Copies of this chain bind each other. A is one copy, B any other.
Amino acid sequence: MNAHAPGYRTFGPSDACDYLRHLGLFTANEPLECDEIGDGNLNLVFRVRGAGKSLIVKQALPYAKVVGENWPLSLDRARIEGEALLEAAKVVPAHVPKVHQLDPVLALTVMEDLSHLTIGRAALIQGRYLPLLGGHIGDYLARTLYATSHFALTPREAKALAARFVNPDLCNITEDLVFIDPYFDRPSNDFPEALRPTLERHWADQALKREVAELTRLFLCQGEALIHGDLHTGSLFVSESDTRVIDPEFAYYGPMAFDIGAFWANLILSSLSHRGHGLENEARRAYRHFLYDTLETSWRHFERGMREQLAAGSVDPFAKVEGYFDAQLERWFSESIGFAGCKAFRRIVGLAHVADIESIQDPAIRLEVKEDALELAANLIKRRGEFAGVEALRAYLESAIDDRQGDNR
């Protein structure tokens, strides 16, 4: 295990404490309490509490149990994650954890403890209202994506940054588990047998596969900006007033819309899932509309943020040519819808599911929600170019989802 990189060894709790003391982040004699709080699949996560503060030590493991028995995984992802957090901190320090130390040899990052916040997915399952979430994520997307795009960087600068974020191992997981496996009958897929007839129909849908192929091509070939690469609601820490984006280990130079679509897919899956959770009809409907609001607001903030930064200046001499930026926004919008469809589809069929839906107790409702999610995802992928704007997308989601919810409308 430790042969993967010279100097690498996996930490235990006392190693984490010693390391932080050595860095001077805690004093030599301060009593420390350390818990390993990671899920143990990809990373070790230690929370170290001293007298006045607590810190997180996140260390990458050289394999990925979640993906398959002993799937080896580059430790370089820890460097990529840490450096991506630092890049984001340059433009949205309020929306990422503060990084205290990167250690590429030990493949670890020391960062701010955000345990006072809740994981976004858990908050949405609980039906919590997060009035600032959509705006915060829209701002995060606008700032991080613009700052690393050809609007803000010269081609030389962009090439240098892209070279630092070549990420074949993690991109390969996305290529296989998001874009390929769910559209074929492959062993890595994971779905109830009752879903098979529906899946056979989708797998035979050449129009669907053609559009997924095109979105896959964008994921492979369109290096537009340094993207987070895995911006689902489980990669967020949230509260009513705070939003932090964590875990950018999938970061690479890719299509901007992939991040936007990932966030939207998880809002959409959440809005479908509440049919199987505890909310009463009216409350359920209201909560779904909060989720649609969040999606709509995220786009509006993204668009406004992008336009503001463009107005403030761009290194691209064509940036202000009449209609050019509008065309880019239209493209990002339709690509985002397509990627949202892909990210939703894989969560039903592929290896990694979402607790929003898996935690539905009633098996019949759970199955129906999965059917609905697949249908909606396939439509978003195929019809992504048909939506005139975010109001039209929202109206479509309202109608497609509300119709299937069986509540009072």
B156 pairs with A172, CB closer than 8 A: yes
Residues of B contacting A212 with CB < 8 Å? Answer: 318
CA A223 – CA B224 in complex, angstroms? Answer: 10
State the main secondary structure of chain A at its contact with B: helix
User: Which of chain A's residues 311-329 have a Cβ closer than 8 Å to chain B?
Assistant: 316-318, 321-324, 327-328
A321 pairs with B150, CB closer than 8 A: no
Cβ contacts A362-398/B at 8 Å (1 or 0 each): 0000000000000000000000000000000000000
A321 pairs with B213, CB closer than 8 A: yes
User: Which of chain A's residues 292-351 have a Cβ closer than 8 Å to chain B?
Assistant: 316-318, 321-324, 327-328
A180 pairs with B322, CB closer than 8 A: no
Could you list some 23 contacts between A and B, CB below 8 A? A150-B217, A150-B221, A155-B171, A155-B172, A155-B175, A155-B220, A156-B168, A158-B220, A159-B171, A160-B168, A183-B318, A206-B323, A209-B322, A209-B324, A210-B321, A210-B324, A210-B327, A212-B318, A213-B318, A213-B324, A214-B324, A222-B222, A222-B223
Q: Least Cβ distance of A291 to chain B in Å?
A: 31
Interface size class for chain A? 35 or more
A206 pairs with B322, CB closer than 8 A: yes
Residues of B contacting A155 with CB < 8 Å? Answer: 168, 171-172, 175, 220
CA A324 – CA B316 in complex, angstroms? Answer: 32
This chain: how many copies in the complex?
Answer: 2
Q: Least Cβ distance of A199 to chain B in Å?
A: 16
Q: Does residue A216 face the partner (Cβ distance < 8 Å to B)?
A: yes
Q: Does residue A166 face the partner (Cβ distance < 8 Å to B)?
A: yes
Q: Does residue A163 face the partner (Cβ distance < 8 Å to B)?
A: yes
- Quick one: closest B residue to A186, CB to CB? B317
Q: Does residue A191 face the partner (Cβ distance < 8 Å to B)?
A: no
Residues of B contacting A206 with CB < 8 Å? Answer: 321-323
User: Which of chain A's residues 171-186 have a Cβ closer than 8 Å to chain B?
Assistant: 171-172, 175, 180, 183-184
